[in-house]
Amino acid sequence: MGWLRRFLAIVAACAMGDLAFAGEPLAEERLKAGFISNFIQFTRWPGNPASITLCGLESHLEGDPLSHLGAMDRRAPVLVVRRLKSLGELHACRAFFLDTANAARLPAVLDASAKQPLLIITEFDGGAPLGAALSLVATGGGRFGFDVNLTAARAAGLDINARLLQLARRVY
């Protein structure tokens, strides 16, 4: 567990350090991007695909964490970020990020992705108990934690690494 904790701390420190040095106000979004990248790295999909398409709804918000994923160092599987115009395009995705602005759309995302190996990640408290596999949650002071809905992940045919589960605030 120590190596995973150190790894997540390094990603967080790098994201915050790079932006603090550059004077950019987007450290929070880079930190979220680091968490999202790690969630994907510590999840297994059926068939172990070589690439994972991470989707999100089209966003016009400044500071969107998905916009920072292209610049991050990645290991296998390769991460491809795609913006969707509608939830009817979910079939092309292996992971889906739902931001706070679209929180009310979680039930529609769950319905549209039924019986599909889709890792649903939200950035609001309460996403995991409602059916998202992972919920990234601000815990105060610029820190984040996350909750895991292991039942939802397993129902989608996904395997979340046990070491990641140990770091979660709550596992449902």
Domain boundaries, given as residue ranges, for the chain: 2-171
Q: Which of 26-35, 49-58, 80-89, 134-143 has the lowest mean pLDDT?
A: 26-35
> Is the distance from CB of 152 to CB of 132 less than 8 angstroms?
yes
Nearest to residue 67, comparing CAs of 78, 76, 54?
54
**pLDDT value of position 31:** 92
Q: Three-state SS for 55?
A: strand
- Higher pLDDT among residues 11 and 107, named by residue: 107
> Is the distance from CB of 36 to CB of 136 less than 8 angstroms?
yes
Residue 50's φ and ψ, nearest 5 degrees, are -75, -20
**pLDDT value of position 16:** 42
* Measured CA distances, 146 to 40, 71, 91, 139 (Å): 14, 23, 26, 9
Label the pairing between strands 143-148 and 170-171.
parallel
pTM: 0.84
DSSP code for 100: G
Partnered with residue 170 across adjacent β-strands are 147
Residue 138's φ and ψ, nearest 5 degrees, are -70, 130
**pLDDT value of position 2:** 59
Residue 6 has pLDDT above 80, yes or no: no
Q: Right CATH number for 2-171 from 3.40.50.2300, 2.40.170.20, 1.20.1290.10, 1.25.40.10?
A: 3.40.50.2300
